[in-house]
Structure 1
Amino acid sequence: MNIYLVRHGETDNNYNKTYYGSLDCELNDKGKAQSLKVKEKLQNINFQKVFSSNMKRAKETAQIILGENHCEIIEEKRISEMNMGIFEGKGHEELKEKYSKEWEMWCNNWKDYKIPEGESYIEFYNRVKEFFLELLNGEEDNILIITHGGVIKSICSYILGENLDIFWKIASRNGDITLIKYEYENLYLDSIVPVEI
């Protein structure tokens, strides 16, 4: 089984380097161009299943990648980005100034601290893991998943020994294609292909 994880194309929030998980924004022009590049790279692969986060930026990326291909896109809430609660739409400096106490608590215990009006990383990780493990019960040769950086990094953290501390040591840029292989009951990270614009 080949599982292709694609991070959605760039949005203005990515460009402005703000935290946003549940903010439902669209791709910018660069994000659309990145999605077209991903389409080129994946055009010769026959996907038996395609999943997308239910967020606009992921769904738009999926629609561009598939183009005229009428493969059904299955929307899946469990692979939406982490809900950042009161941190949504804000950058580092603004968070330090407006929510200094909450920011410090999150920095000191980023895995377990539940951001007000949002979720903890552990809650987020567990819902992503639940979805991913369900995939492994299928018999598809090729699966495409269009999702978010945090989701992809969480899946990689699971594959590399459920070591959540490596989450911050994994890169997942807009448009990157991460290939996970599942063979003989063994999961491994095969490659990460960047999309350059």
Structure 2
Amino acid sequence: MAINLYIVRHGETYFNFLHRFQGWSDAPLTPKGIQHGIDAGERLNNIHFDGAYSSDLTRAIHTARYILQHNTTQSPKEPTQLFDFREQFFGSFEGINGETVTTTLQAYKTENFGTYANLVAKYGMADAMDTVALADPYHFAENDQKWWHRVSHGFADIQSRHSDGDNVLIVSHGTTIRGIAEKLGRHDLAGEPVKNGAVMQIALSVDHADIIRFNDDSTVF
């Protein structure tokens, strides 16, 4: 038996639309982003969630609320906010155009990668996080170790709150979802940008975690 996690990426924000690194910065959902939350809620509306959580950033909280508003079972009405499931902190790159950040990161690699997505695909999510931290002139950005220490603590917290068979909703962020996939041995999935409102389903047991679905924005559960 395992805890069934449904980890959803928040809806589109204005920073997403403008192709800016977002991290811990807060930008509101666009109208399309609100619809992402509604659509995710309609796909998940028949699942009874024994617990509902979001990162404590506004875009995740609001997306979780839209999902729960459309739930037809006796699920929680409000997500519990967990700092542990925030996005990676990008430090001084927060709010900066993605092409500008990628150009800066390129100086720390010998091979050309062109885009941030290609950096992840070529070197892996952990290396990409470490490169962001290394390139941050103010040394604010999280590296892979700091990020995973936080997120793994979040998983331990979820396990302490729930029992085998429970269904748990978590609304989180694109880089965090890709990083989790890589930590679970799925570099092939980590190299795939996560769609707003898409679901990663994980079966989480005491000593193992299996990814059942990834980047799924079409299944009606």
Report the TM-score range of the alignment, normalised by the length of the smaller protein.
Answer: 0.7 to 0.9
Match of 1:149 in 2: 174
Could you list the per-position Cα deviations for residues 44-65 of structure 1 after superposition, in whole angstroms to 9, with x for gaps in the alignment? 1111111111101001101111
- Mind listing any 5+ residue stretches in structure 1 that lack a counterpart? none
Find the aligned partners of 2:178 and 2:102 in 1 and give their Cα distance: 25
In the other structure, the counterpart of 2:86 is 80
Q: 1:96 to 1:67 in 2, by over 3 A?
A: closer
1:135 maps onto 2:153 in alignment: no
Q: What root-mean-square deviation, in Å, do the aligned CA atoms of Structure 1 and Structure 2 show?
A: 2.7
Specify the SS of the correspondent of 2:128: coil
More divergent stretch after superposition (45-54 vs 102-111): 102-111
Q: Deviations over 1:23-66 (max 9, x none)?
A: 11110000001111111011111111111111010011011111
Question: What secondary structure sits across from 1:110 in the alignment?
Answer: helix
| Identical residues among aligned pairs (%) | 26
Distance 1:195 1:122, change over 3 A: farther
The structure 2 residue matched to 1:120, chosen from 139, 143, 164, is 143
Structure 2, unaligned runs of 5 or more: 110-118
Distance 2:29 2:78 in 1: 21
Pair 83,167 (structure 1): closer, same or farther in 2 beyond 3 Å:
farther
Q: 1:156 to 1:110 in 2, by over 3 A?
A: closer
Matches within 5 A, 1:43-122: 43-67=45-69, 70-95=76-101, 100=104, 104-105=107-108, 110-113=128-131, 114=133, 115=136, 116=138, 117-122=140-145
TM-score by length of 1: 0.83
Q: 2:198 aligns with which of 168, 176, 182?
A: 176
**Contact 1:173 1:194 (8 Å CA) reproduced:** yes
CA distance in structure 1 between the partners assigned to 2:188 and 2:156 by the alignment: 20
Counterpart of 1:104 in structure 2: which amino acid? A
Instruction: Name 2:114's counterpart in structure 1.
Output: none
TM-score (norm 2): 0.75
In 1, distance between residues paired with 2:190 and 2:97? 17
